[in-house]
Amino acid sequence: MDDRPTLYSFAGGAEAFLAVSLAMHERCVADPVLNHPFSHDMSPEHDVRLAEYLGEVFGGPRVYSERYGGHSAMLEMHASTGAEDDMARRFLDCFDQAVEDAELPRDPEFRRALHDYMAWATREVHDYSPLGSEVPSGLELPHWTWNGLER
């Protein structure tokens, strides 16, 4: 059994993931490929919602699932967009830099866990991006630990 704190706690909790979310937004807007989705009518709460989503994934409170419909709802927002193949890699690069920008702990195992989650998540989102894709309802949010996806 792993007696380490959750990744959420180790990162610094809600404030840490809000800092990552804000840095992600800034980096995505500055990216010539990723800025297109960010130029549409986004919710003014996008950064907070992303922070709550990531927080829940990494062991924080179930805020996103309870308020916004969970994993299926998040995937539905990104489904059937016809996203370019390069978007996933670019998003992952922006995430890694946002973690750095937000000054999350530099522990290599911690950083690897965050990176591995986002690599997994961007592949999943990209799988639903072809036009006409449909997301199954009722999907639970993934929970990511120091050891990867918790099943």
Q: Which residues of the chain have pLDDT under 50?
A: none
Residue whose pair of structure tokens reads 């522990």 in the numeric block: 107
pLDDT at 86: 77
Whole-model pTM: value is 0.89
Domain membership of residue 1 (yes or no) is no
Domain membership of residue 2 (yes or no) is no
**Strand 148-149 to strand 144-145: parallel, antiparallel, or no bridges (unpaired)?**
antiparallel
Domain membership of residue 27 (yes or no) is yes
Domain membership of residue 94 (yes or no) is yes
Domain membership of residue 39 (yes or no) is yes
33 close to 118: Cβ distance less than 8 angstroms: no
pLDDT at 120: 94
> Can you give the CATH number for the domain in which 140 is found?
1.10.490.10
Q: Render pLDDT for 98-124 as a digit per residue (tens, 0 to 9).
A: 999 999 999 999 999 999 999 999 888
Domain membership of residue 137 (yes or no) is yes
Domain membership of residue 3 (yes or no) is no
pLDDT at 2: 76
The number of folded domains in the chain is 1
pLDDT at 39: 62
**Could you count the other beta carbons within 10 Å of the beta carbon of residue 67?**
12
Size of the chain in residues = 151
pLDDT at 130: 81
pLDDT at 15: 98
Q: Distance between CA atoms of 7 and 146, rounded to whole angstroms?
A: 7
pLDDT at 42: 63
Domain membership of residue 79 (yes or no) is yes
The whole domain housing 105 covers 8-149
